[in-house]
Each structure stands twice: as C-alpha cells, then as structure tokens.
Amino acid sequence: LLFFNRCHITTLFENDRHFSHLSTLEREMAFRTEMGLYYSYFKIIIEAPSFWNGVRAIMNDRLTEYPLVINTLQRFNLYPEVVLASWYRIYTAIMDFLGVPTKTCWTVNRGKGLSPVESCEGLGDPASFYVAVIFLLNGFMMSLFFIYGTYLSGSRLGGLITVVCFFFNHGECTRVMWTPPLRESFSYPFLVLQMLLLTYILRIPNINTGSLIALCVSNIFFMLPWQFAQFVLLTQIASLFAVCIMGYIDSCKLQKILSAHMVSLIVCFILMFGNSMLLTSYYAASLVVIWGILELSPKVLKSSRREVYLWVIEGCAWLFGTVTLKYLTSLAFGIADDAHIGNILKSKFIGYKDFDTLMYTCAAEFDFMEKETPVRYTKTLLLPVVLVVFGVIIKRVKMKSMQILCFCVFFFFFQLVYHALQLLAYSVLAILIMRLKLFLTPHLCVMASLVCSKQLFGWLFCKIQPKTLVFAILALMAIEGSANLQTQWNIMGEFSNLPQEELLEWIKVNTRQDAVFAGAMPTMASVKLSTLRPIVNHPHYEDAGLRARTKVVYSMYSRKPAKEVKRELIKLGVNYYILEESLCVSRKKPGCSMPEIWDVEDPANSGKIPLCTLMSKDSRPYFVTVFENSNYRVLKIPKE
C-alpha cells in the first residue's frame, strides 16, 4: 500500500507538470504561492556552507519581511524543511564520498523559439528529493489507513474498504499530488497515526504510560508542521468531552488524554521558540477549561452525569469558558494574529466583510462546501454506507441492554460514539470551509470500514457472508470510483510560465542583490525563492503585522491617489513594485475583484478609476516602468 499510493500520487504529479523534464527555475516556479515560500527555506539550508549556517540564516531572516529580521522557524512551521534539508545534505555527502552519482542531467529543447534548458532527474536534484520524501510519507499514510480501518472494524476487510474508498474518492481526500509542499502534506499523516492511537486508548480499560507517550509524540509531529493543527485538535477534545459528559468515558481517562495534549502543546511552544499563538489558541483555552470542569463538576453537580440538563450546563460552561479564556489570554499577550479566524466565521453567519476577510472568502477553497461534493460522495456510495453505519451506531448506543454489556463490547461502543461525534465536527468544518473536506472525506472512509464490524452488523452476517457483502459493496462503488481514478489518470499537462520566467530572469540580471520588491503574494514567493531578493510581503497571511503590510502593498489595486500609495510603499522601503493587470480586472465572483474589495475597505474613494488601471496606461510621474511583458509590469519607485 505504501509504494502503491506513492506511485499513484507521483504519477499524477508528473502527468500534471512533466516535472522530471523541467529546469531548476521552472520547478521553483511550479511551487506557487506559499509552496514556494516554504521551499525557499529548504533551498537556503542546502545551499549554505553548512547545515547550521543554513539554520541560523532562516532563524535570522532578512529577506522575507524587509526590513524586519524574523525567526522563520517560529513563524512558519518550517521543521519539515529543516529535517528534509539535513537528510538531503547527509544523502548527497554519503553518495559523493562513495562516488555514486545522484542525478542525471540532460538538455531539453523547449521549441517555439525558446532557449534550451538543463533538466536533472534523481534524488540529487533538490526539488526531486523534496517531493519524493513527501510522497513517501503520504504512501506511509495509506498503510496507516489500512491498519486504522482494520483495528476500528475488527476485520481486515474493514481496512480494505477504507483504502478502496480513499482511492475511489481520491480527489476529495487529498491534494498532495497537486501541492506537495503545503503544510498538510507533512502534518496529516501524523493525525491519522494520532487518531489510531487514540482509538486504541479509548478501547482499552486501563491506559498504560507507553500509549500516552505515543499519543503525545504523534500530537507533536502533527502540530509542529502546520499552524491549523490546533483547530483540528480542538474538535477532537471537544468530541471527547461530549463523550465524557454523556457518560461513555470516565473523567479519569479523559484527564490522562488531556495531559498528553497539554504536554505536547508545551513542547511545541518551546520548539516554536515561544510562538504565543499556541498558548492563546482556542485549543489551549479548551484544554484548561475542560480540565477545570472535570475537577469541579463532581463537587458542584451531585446528580447523575447522564441527565440531559447536566450535559447542557457542562457544554455551555465549556463554550463560554473557552471563548472567555481565549479572549483574556490574547489580551494579556497582545496577540491578534488569529483574529481573522473569528472574522471568517462571522462572514459565514452574518455576512461580515473587511479587507482581510474578503482576501480569504473570495478564494474558492474558503467558500462553503460545493453542492456537488455530497453528490460525488453519493455516487461512490461512500455517503450512503456511512449514513447506514451512523444510524446503526445511534441505534445500538440507545439500547438499554448497553448497561449489561461486557466490558470489551462497552468500550468498543463508546469509542464509536467518539468517532461519530468527530465525524459531525469534521462535517461542520467542511460545510463552512470547503478546503476542510480534506479532514471529512478520509474520516468518512474510516467510518465506512465499520460496515464489516461484527458488533454492529452481526445480525446481518448471520444471513449473509461478510466477504460477499463487502465485495458486493466494493463492486458497486467501483462503478463511479474507477471512473474517478481514470479521470485523474487522464490529466496531462506540462508546466510553463514564460511571462514569470522572463520577469525572474530580468530581476536577476537588472537589479541589485539588495533591491526590495513588493507585489501580489504568490509572485513575491517566487521572487524570494528564485532571485533571493528581499520582499516586504508574502503568502503566509496568518500574522497580523503581515496582513497590515499586505494591505499597504495591495493599495496599488485600490482607488487611492498614486501619491498616497507611493508614500506608503516608500515607508516600507520598497524599490520595485510588480504590477499584475490580471489582478486589476479578474473577478472570481461578484464583489471579489481587488477594486471591489477595496470599495468595502475604502468607501471614500469608491467610484474612481482603480490606480492599477491608471498605472497600466502610464505610470508617470510617481512611478517609472522599467520592465513589461504580457502579465507583469515592474514599476521602479523613485525616492522623493
């Protein structure tokens, strides 16, 4: 399974971009937006005189948010790049010592009057090594899914169903084959491991120290690479707390699980050099509040924990306590980096709008789930099967005979209650923000494995052989599932971005090494990666200070006067501005062109001609056009 899934996603990636035949510059350009930003730090470490020189360089970075010096390890969850860079340096050093070639290079004739480029293939090529490790890790994840499905259902047929469902719904489960450097590619496999370990802990009557340590370590490996991990773990502990207040898990066991979460959070806080977003997160606040409720509840609420009004009281106490503690800690530390999360949620429910919120919600991946997504789930029978499983879980949990079940069966059922609640949590996340279906779909695949569970469907297995039922379901799933796979395999492309290539080559040749650039976030990542020029803004939008800088940079697409925009850019120390006419006119949906977004933020200038339109015609007298092609225009900013 490891090598099969690795080969599958490697093939899709190669088919889409013809990656093996791209030049070094083209491969770097293929890592667009924040992918290029993350990869740039891997590049810095492997090109430094020594590994530790490279690490010191990214911990004292002067290029990413000029003129600031920032610790990118603290800000950007870059431990994957540090580890991969160390492995790459060790690998190449050993191969060089043994005299074994690590890559094969050749000249590629690109035709159409384009100059030929050198292309290298093999693990000695940095970009090829980087994506190969990512694909290997995600191949390992598929093995974990098989083990997870097998353990949860108690049958290897359950593991088979999980894996097959994942492949039949591959496009809904992951995007690693299109965007390998994203943080989820490194982080999500460890969430699968963590949930497998949690399932084991919930199933056994007594928790041993080793399983708690393993849970803690998997938490760390999940949280370190990805800033969003804390929100996923928040849904996990909320689901566990709900299971506890319903009486399906004792508070002592939950407190041990919470202690593992707390330790892992503190370790990540230390390894992230005191990243205050971790301690001021809803996740951290929720851990403390739940612990407090578990300690105080037996003393304050003397009645049975199974009474519904007590569930409501404890649930409201958790919600109010978490929000209040989060607000107070953010106030105490002066942190506003994750304020945009609340604004995004407000925009979903009450239509709230501001510049930063629209920058998120105008992107398709932050919109509500597409209506077609449940339809696709239904066509592969994933949704119908899981709905049947979900219904049977609810029915069995309600059975009064639950109270006289043996210990092992009792523990089996309350772990299913947790998985059902976790499924509901993932469903809410996915409905609100489309990209989060990357959590929902794999969990649906895991839940589908329970169709093989004797505890749930033993009554049915008395009438029909489990294998017959499973293979009948798989055969029906394969009708649409095989078509989905064929659609993926039929995707053929070849990466090419000549306008950006011309831009980057011009910057290398015609600007000083210390020339400072500003522009659209995706383009800035490419400029930093391929030219190593200082930039003032970038695609990692989760920092309050960076969001303020980006608003200044994007004022070129507003209707403000050119003189005002120039003055603000000079304050940031910008020498060159890269203007993209497409951003001035493109409109993903109503109200989402850059001038329209600025109309919300700056209504006083509404109705005027956008500055970017004026600059496209004539940049004088405030800017000087020094480079121009079909997509980009470089404006030099004369000093006043």
Burial class (CB in 10 A: 0-12, 13-18, 19+), 301: middle
Pick the residue with more confidence: 336 or 161? Answer: 161
Do the Cβ atoms of 222 and 191 come closer than 8 Å?
Answer: yes
Residue 348: predicted pLDDT: 81
Residue 404: predicted pLDDT: 46
Backbone torsion region of residue 391, taken as left when φ is above 0, otherwise alpha when ψ lies between -120 and 50, otherwise beta = alpha
- Quick check: 226 pLDDT over 60? yes
Q: How confident is the model over 29-66, as pLDDT tens digits?
A: 999 889 999 999 999 999 999 999 999 999 999 999 99
Beta bridge partners of residue 117, listed in sequence order: 108
Evaluated on CA atoms 518, 520, 521, 525, the torsion sign reads negative
Pick the residue with more confidence: 308 or 190? Answer: 190
- Within 10 A of 371 (CB to CB), how many other CB atoms are there? 7
Residue 628: predicted pLDDT: 93
Do the Cβ atoms of 224 and 278 come closer than 8 Å?
Answer: no
- Tokens for 498? 């000549």
pLDDT above 90 covers a percentage of the chain that reads 64
- Quick check: 7 pLDDT over 50? yes
Residue 411: predicted pLDDT: 59
Long-range contacts of 30-35, Cβ-Cβ distance < 8 Å, separation of 24 or more: 30/495, 31/127, 31/181, 31/525, 31/529, 32/522, 32/525, 32/526, 33/521, 33/522, 33/525, 33/539, 34/181, 34/182, 34/525, 34/538, 34/539, 34/540, 35/179, 35/180, 35/181, 35/182, 35/525
pLDDT band per the 50, 70, 90 thresholds, residue 495: confident
Residue 586: predicted pLDDT: 78
Residue 399: predicted pLDDT: 66
Pick the residue with more confidence: 216 or 413? Answer: 216
Residue 400: predicted pLDDT: 43
Pick the residue with more confidence: 227 or 219? Answer: 219
Q: Rounded to the nearest 5 degrees, what angle is found at the Cα of 245, between the Cα atoms of 221 and 287? A: 35
Q: What is the pTM of this model?
A: 0.93
Nearest-Å Rg of the Cα atoms of the chain is: 27
- Quick check: 401 pLDDT over 50? no
Residue 302: predicted pLDDT: 57
- Within 10 A of 541 (CB to CB), how many other CB atoms are there? 15
Burial class (CB in 10 A: 0-12, 13-18, 19+), 198: buried
CA–CA distance, 552 with 580 (Å, rounded to integer): 16
Residue 403: predicted pLDDT: 53
Look at 95-99, 351-355, 489-493 and tell me which has the smallest mean pLDDT.
351-355
Q: Specify the residue for token string 């000249």.
A: 107
Q: How confident is the model over 517-569, as pLDDT tens digits?
A: 999 999 999 999 999 999 999 998 888 889 899 999 999 999 999 999 999 99
- Quick check: 26 pLDDT over 80? yes
- Quick check: 318 pLDDT over 80? yes
CA–CA distance, 164 with 475 (Å, rounded to integer): 11
Beta bridge partners of residue 627, listed in sequence order: 634
Q: Go through the chain and tell me how many residues it has.
A: 640
- Tokens for 135? 């694909």
Q: How confident is the model over 116-158, as pLDDT tens digits?
A: 888 888 999 999 999 999 999 999 999 999 999 999 999 999 9
Mean residue pLDDT across the chain: 90
**What does DSSP assign to residue 120?**
E
**What does DSSP assign to residue 362?**
T
Please state the rounded mean pLDDT for residues 217-239: 95
**What does DSSP assign to residue 50?**
S
- Quick check: 405 pLDDT over 60? no
- Quick check: 605 pLDDT over 60? yes
- Quick check: 588 pLDDT over 80? no
Residue 306: predicted pLDDT: 58
Please state the rounded mean pLDDT for residues 560-579: 94
Q: Rounded to the nearest 5 degrees, what angle is found at the Cα of 175, between the Cα atoms of 169 and 178? A: 125
313-339 CB burial, b ≥16 within 10 A, e <16: bbeebbeebbeebbeebbeeeebebbe
74-87 CB burial, b ≥16 within 10 A, e <16: bbbbbbbbbebbbe
